[in-house]
Amino acid sequence: MARVKVLSEYCKSCRLCVEICPKGVLQIGDKTNAKGYYTAIVVDEEKCNGCTLCGIVCPDVAIEVYK
């Protein structure tokens, strides 16, 4: 059981987390943050296994993972 959280104000929509997640937990959503970026969102939380790969590749430290 794990949980991933996107700190959307830090997100710049670069997609690196979306591409790296082996379970397809993350996607780019249809809402923008204050800076105007469509931010990553968690679409399939159940599948997150807490591997933290998304956080490791995120260039904006916009991801938190809980386990």
Partner 1 sequence: MQKVFGRPKGLTEVAFSFCPGCTHGIIMRLVGEVLEELEIIEDTIGVSPVGCAGFCQDFFSCDFVGAAHGRAQAVGTGIKRALPDRIVFTYQGDGDIAAIGTQHAIHTAARGEKITSIMVNNAIYGMTGGQMAPTTLEGMKTSTSPYGRDLVINGYPLDLPKTIATLDGVKYVASVSVDSPKNILQAKKAIKKAFQVQQAGLGFALVSVLSTCPTNWGLSPVDSLKWLRENMMPVYEMGELKVAEEVKNL
Say how far apart CA 20 and CA 5 lie, in whole Å. 15
Contact residues: partner 1, CB under 8 A: 1-3, 9-10, 12-16, 19-20, 37, 50, 52-53, 55-61, 63-67
CA distances from 3 to 17, 19, 50 (A): 15, 18, 7
Nearer to partner 1, 41 or 53 (CB): 53
CB of 32 to partner 1, least distance (A): 13
CB atoms within 10 A of CB 4: 25
CB of 43 to partner 1, least distance (A): 18
